[in-house]
Structure 1
Amino acid sequence: MRSLIVNLVLVVAVFALVPLALGGRMGPVEIILWLCAQLAALAFVISRYVRQRRATRTEPTRS
């Protein structure tokens, strides 16, 4: 399991490449949609990390 910081950096890096791929020609609507998508991706990464941490804590130890 990768750390939370690595996952967050990967999400931000991927979303940073979008304006470069589009040549920086994004209007206000595209920027708002891009920011909403990035926030949703960050929320998903954090919630998934928290779910995985809870699952490993509640897992019974095997003898």
Structure 2
Amino acid sequence: MTTDRATALGYTEAVTAENAAYVLTLMVQPGTDLEGQFKAWDCDEQEFIMVSGWSFDIYPTADLAA
């Protein structure tokens, strides 16, 4: 699967999730509750992952959203 396919499945909102150990570049579905546990497309690893939002600082990634 590719990022284009994830986008076609509705994962169109680009975000970055950071904590002391990780920096993740993700695509999520619009309206995703980023404070809870959610499914996201990992742009670097090219796979879906489950993210515990409370463990990260999450903010929009403007350059991927275009």
TM bucket normalised to smaller = under 0.3
Task: Choose between structure 1 and 2: higher strand proportion.
Answer: 2
Larger radius of gyration: 1
With normalisation by structure 2, the TM-score equals 0.23
With normalisation by structure 1, the TM-score equals 0.24
Q: Which has the higher contact order (CA 8 A, sep 6+)?
A: 1
